[in-house]
Structure 1
Amino acid sequence: MPLKAVLFDMDGVIVDTEPLHRKAYFKTFDELEIVVSEELYTSFTGASTKRVSETLINEFNLDQTYEAIAGIKRSHFKDYFYNDDEFDLIPGVRKLIEHYHENGVKLILASSATMVTINMVFEKFGLEQYFSGKISGADLKESKPHPEVFLLAAEMAGEPVENCMVIEDSTNGILAAHRAKIFCAAYRSPHSKNQDYTLADTVVSDYEDLELDKISKYF
Structure 2
Amino acid sequence: MPLKAVLFDMDGVIVDTEPLHRKAYFSTFDDLEIEVSEELYTSFTGASTKKVCTTLIEKFQLRQSHEELALIKRKYFRHFFYNDEDFNLLPGVKSLIENYFDNNIKLVLASSASMVTIDMVFEKFDLEKYFIGKISGADLKESKPHPEIFLLASEIADESKENCMVIEDSTNGIIAAHSAAIFCTAYKSEHSVGQNYEKANLVISDFSEIEFQKVEKYF
Q: Aligned partners of 2:160 and 2:213: how far apart in 1?
A: 21
Give the C-alpha shift of residue 215 in structure 1. 1.3
Question: 1:52-71 maps to which residues of 2 (within 5 A)?
Answer: 52-71=52-71
SS in 1 for 2:167: strand
Q: Aligned partners of 2:203 and 2:157: how far apart in 1?
A: 24
Question: 1:24-39 maps to which residues of 2 (within 5 A)?
Answer: 24-39=24-39
Q: Aligned partners of 1:98 and 1:159: how far apart in 2?
A: 20
Q: Aligned partners of 2:213 and 2:132: how far apart in 1?
A: 23
Specify the alignment match of 1:9 in structure 2: 9
Give the C-alpha shift of residue 64 in structure 1. 0.9
SS in 1 for 2:166: strand
Specify the alignment match of 1:159 in structure 2: 159
Q: What is the aligned residue count?
A: 219
* Structure 2 residue 106 is the aligned partner of structure 1 residue 117: no
User: Deviation string for 1:28-70 (max 9, x for gaps)?
Assistant: 0000000000000000000011000000000011111111110
SS in 2 for 1:7: strand
Specify the alignment match of 2:175 in structure 1: 175
User: Deviation string for 1:98-123 (max 9, x for gaps)?
Assistant: 00000000000000001100000000
Q: Aligned partners of 2:97 and 2:215: how far apart in 1?
A: 15
SS in 2 for 1:184: strand
Question: 1:57-136 maps to which residues of 2 (within 5 A)?
Answer: 57-136=57-136
TM-score, normalising length from structure 2?
A: 0.99
Structure 1 unaligned segments of length 5 or more: list them.
none
- For 1:78, the aligned partner's letter is R
Give the C-alpha shift of residue 212 in structure 1. 1.5
Give the C-alpha shift of residue 213 in structure 1. 1.9
Q: Aligned partners of 2:125 and 2:156: how far apart in 1?
A: 23
Structure 2 unaligned segments of length 5 or more: list them.
none
Q: Aligned partners of 1:168 and 1:206: how far apart in 2?
A: 13
- For 1:112, the aligned partner's letter is S
Give the C-alpha shift of residue 216 in structure 1. 2.2
Q: Aligned partners of 2:173 and 2:76: how far apart in 1?
A: 27
